[in-house]
Amino acid sequence: MPYITIESGSLTKEQKSKLIEEITQVASKITQIPSEFFFVTIKELPDENIGINGKTIDKTKQEYQQNQIKK
C-alpha cells in the first residue's frame, strides 16, 4: 500500500480534501496502482515552526501581505 505524507503549514478542510484527492489521482496515474490502495496523511505545522530564508513563515506571509497592499 503506497503511503504519502505531506507536511505543510495550516490548511483549510477544503484545501486538505483537494490536496489528498489530486495527489492520489496523480500518484495512481504515474505508478499505475489503483487509487484505492493509496494512504495519504497531512501533518500541519504552525507557521511559526517553519522557516525560509532565515524568517518564519508567519513573518514572511505578513511581509508579503503588506507588500500586496502597497501595490
Domain boundaries of the chain, sorted by first residue: 3-70
Confidence at residue 68, expressed as pLDDT on a 0 to 100 scale? 87
Confidence at residue 34, expressed as pLDDT on a 0 to 100 scale? 98
Greater confidence (48 vs 23) lies with 23
| Model confidence pLDDT, tens digit, residues 57-69 | 989 989 888 888 8
SS in 3 state form for 7-38? EECCCCHHHHHHHHHHHHHHHHHHHCCCHHHC
The class (CATH top level) of 3-70 is alpha beta
pTM for the model: 0.74
